Chains A and B, each alone.
Chain A
Amino acid sequence: MSVDAVTVDGVEGARSGRHAAPEQVARRRRGGGREQRMVPDAEPVSYYGQPVLNRPTWKSRDIAGYFFVGGLAGASSIFGAAAQASGRPGTARVAKLGALGGVTLSAAALVHDLGRPSRFYNMLRVFKPTSPMSVGSWILSGFGPAAGVAALSDLTGRAPRIGAAATASAAVLGSAVATYTAVLVTDTAVPAWHDGHKLMPVVFGASAASSAAGLALVAAPSGESGPARQVAAVASLVEELSLEAMTRSMSDEVGHAYHEGRAGKLLRAAKACTAFGAVAAAVAGHRRPVGVAAGLALLTGSALTRFGVFHAGLASADDPQATTGPQRARLAT
């Protein structure tokens, strides 16, 4: 090979692979000349294609699963309070039991994911506003008992005043439970999560509301289903639109994680389920079978959305270009 073959843009004519040795890897393009380039655009610079970040160690069943059941619990507790206040006892009971079930599963998933489950109590050793996980632990430790008392009081009919106070507290804390998980994932260096920090709380909040509406449609009396159907329609629309806007706001290097691979599949399935659920909820009226089908689709769609977002993050953590590309672009401006 003659010296002429080696240019500032790499080895002329060489098409470097994804895991190319660095000598084949071109320097990034400087300036935006309009002239025809004589060499093909080379693969971007990385260290043997290795990720810059360490991959999140969270297990998807535990943590993406928690985002779903925690969101369901939080939004259901809001449903419980609103249904009770508006005289819909059947929906209130289903929502309160759903909240209790959801928060119980959440606690189990969170403890299970710890590397040292026996040290779960260290979560309440300090309160740190800089750590969304610390804030979330404190919120959950207030929310769990409140949801429990609200559900038990509803079931037994005992201590109605305490039950009402617990229902109201669970609703307020539940709104935090449903959205803080978005801060938890976006407060990381994972590009596909962090770069979505403006809209992720909307995606997660809407997804939680959609799942709570789904649960109400499945299990609450169909005669009370009007509000659940309305929430289903609006929340599903907001969930899909905000997710779309979030991924569009990202650079291509980062955003593609939401469209490709496992995350892409999960999110396309989520969209189909959510759309079906929203339409079915809108036309269900008081017909129970249609309502149940709508509710199941909404619950599935919400869960798939969380798993999709989770896997998009894993894919982008594995991709060195998702980390370095936007940073290099920032330095160039």
Chain B
Amino acid sequence: MDTEEMKILEMLKKVIDPELMVNIIDLGLVYGATFDAAGRQIDVALTLTSPGCPMGGIIIEDAQQTLESNYPGFNVNINLVWEPAWSIERLSAKGKAELGFS
């Protein structure tokens, strides 16, 4: 992963899941990000903890807005993916601590 993609993931830590109150990176909801400087394009693969999650729309909107404001003139695509399904193993150590895992 190049530096720009690392920066994108860092920026997405500002996007919080409103139900769990943990950011989407520490929740493991972001499966990957690609940055294409020449094509001025950013693609993010994002999942949700459950397909029925009523918060999905606003999480995507928040992620999109966060990246668009940091990369003016770039085309930001947030792609919702369901495979592989999200599971507890995707939580970071910080995410686990914030959710109360001992």
Do A and B make up one complex?
A: no
